Chain A
Amino acid sequence: MKNKYFILFLTLMFTFSIQKANAQEVQSTDEIQKLKQEIEQLKNESDTYKPGKSKFLLRGYAHSGLQITDEEFSFVGGSFNPLFIYKQSDRLLFESEWELELAGGEVKLAVEYANMSYLLSKNLTFRAGKILVPFGIYVPNLHPAWINKFPTGPLGAGHDGIIPSNDIGLELRGGSYLGNLKINYSIYAVNGSQLNDGEEEAEEAGILHHAIFPDNNKGKTIGGRLGFFPFSDSSLEFGISGMYGKVGAKETDMKDVAALHYALDISYVKTLSSMSSVLDMKGQYSGVNVDDANYPFHENPDDLITFDNNSSTWFAQISLRPALVENNFVRRLEFAGRYSTLKTPEGSEWETDQTQVDLGINYWIDWRTLFKVSYRISNSKEDGTTEEPDGHGGAPGNAFFVHWAIGF
């Protein structure tokens, strides 16, 4: 009897085990099914956010700060520069930088550039639209507030400087190798600068104005830049730039007046292990020669004056950032110095001969955000004052700046 009860017990246990196993199997199948549904749902959701070939990116920069001069102690608005970048395909790109600047209690809006780029080959790109003129290195590469080591630009640069900044036209650009020598190049045709004939503003007679539309004549300004990298690590770059075109207005006495802009630039950036620092040196010499012309004399517009309409400007800057030291505070510091000059034509109403020294210490919060503290010493040779006429990229007087800038 005992055996019968034992066999019955085993049979019941076996049956119970099979039922439980079946139930678990059903449960597992349900769970697998549920997981499959969840995976499918997640896949559908991820497909919703899967980027297509067309992609849009909003970047840009902003800056403002404190400016102290003999006459002024003021927080200044600086500017906000959104940069819209739209990648239409692997070959087609549109980009535009706007500048919203707080000045004189108003907001000034300007389109710095807006152009379409088409990648023709592995090393040649065609651009059309409003471009940053590839003239030297300051305007095309260094002007954004989070890249510029100083709160202001060097003498002669900027919207009112003698260095052309932006213009409308066509451009071919790219980079390539001649053996192991890396080069980059750009050739372009743009509307070009416009000569102020002094008819309306005699005190500005002979000045070249940049980025004014439409063109004042039918001639186009042709220009280009060539850059060479003699070292294999691309630490050193030499550049030569030039642009030539008519600047006089059509159907006037100055219709044949032309201008030649030229520039030489150099850049050296090297990580110095021995100093645990990054050394950055940049320089640019720029000049402009305008054909001779007769301009109205500002005190009596019936009288005509003429002068050698040649201007030049140059800057050299150096900065050292101990980015490789262990101390977290010290490695965020950067020490910078810049010397710049501006010389405009003798005999003109806007004659000036200025020099400017900027000394600064920057503190980097991250790779694109910094505080700048700098002191500027200005000098004007011709009359011993530090004042400078508006309109030539100069800035008046000695000044102390505390600025912040962010790139995003």
Chain B
Amino acid sequence: MKKIPIIIFLFTLLATIAIISSCQSTSPLAEAKSGAQLWGENCLRCHNAPSPESFSDAEWDVAVMHMRVRANLTEPEAVKIADFLKTAN
């Protein structure tokens, strides 16, 4: 258990760096991705990619916000995915 403070310190440090760096919500590579591409990549990480026809535009607003929090999506990613789902449904 003597290792605990070191582990906690390292973890806290990494977490702090991550949060401080959170001002960057996108990258050149991410910016080049379409909503359809982000939809496929991010949904498939846990489950099948949902059919855009599953929900109405208003329902997608709520579902995408739910998944933005759940899957730790950035705002630009969530906006692109929502736009794609609304256009394709």
Contact = CB atoms under 8 A, between A and B. Distances in A.
Contact of B48 (A122, A291, A368): A368
B50 A367 contact: yes
A367 B48 contact: yes
Contacts of A172: 19
A122 B11 contact: no
Q: Is the interface of A mostly helix, strand, loop or mixed?
A: strand
A248 to B, nearest CB: 14
Contact of B72 (A51, A59, A95, A174): A174
Q: Report the interface size class on chain B.
A: 35 or more
Contact of A55 (B18, B26, B28, B62): B62
B62 A57 contact: yes
Given A123-B25, A180-B27, A368-B47, A187 B15 contact: yes
Interface string B34-63: 000000011011111111001100110111
Nearest to B63: A57
A83 to B, nearest CB: 8
B51 A367 contact: yes
A242 B14 CA distance: 12
Contacts of A252: none
A368 B40 CA distance: 15
Contacts of A180: 27-30
B69 A117 contact: yes
Given A55-B61, A175-B73, A367-B51, A123 B45 contact: no
A394 interface: no
A95 B47 contact: no
Nearest to B73: A175
Most-contacted residue by chain A among B7, B27, B28 (CB, 10 A):
B27
B24 interface: yes
B46 A232 contact: no
B76 to A, nearest CB: 7
A179 B41 CA distance: 19
A291 B47 contact: no
B21 interface: yes
A22 interface: no
A230 B15 CA distance: 18
Interface string A158-184: 000000000000001111111110111
A13 interface: no
For the complex of A and B, list the 9 residue pairs with the smallest distance between their C-beta atoms, beginning with the closest.
Answer: A184-B72, A122-B75, A175-B72, A122-B25, A57-B62, A367-B48, A185-B18, A177-B27, A51-B58
Interface of A: 51, 55-57, 59, 85-87, 90, 93, 95, 117, 119, 121-125, 127, 140-142, 146-147, 172-180, 182-187, 222, 224, 226-227, 232-235, 237, 240, 242, 244, 258, 260, 262, 267, 269, 271, 278, 289, 291, 364, 366-368, 407
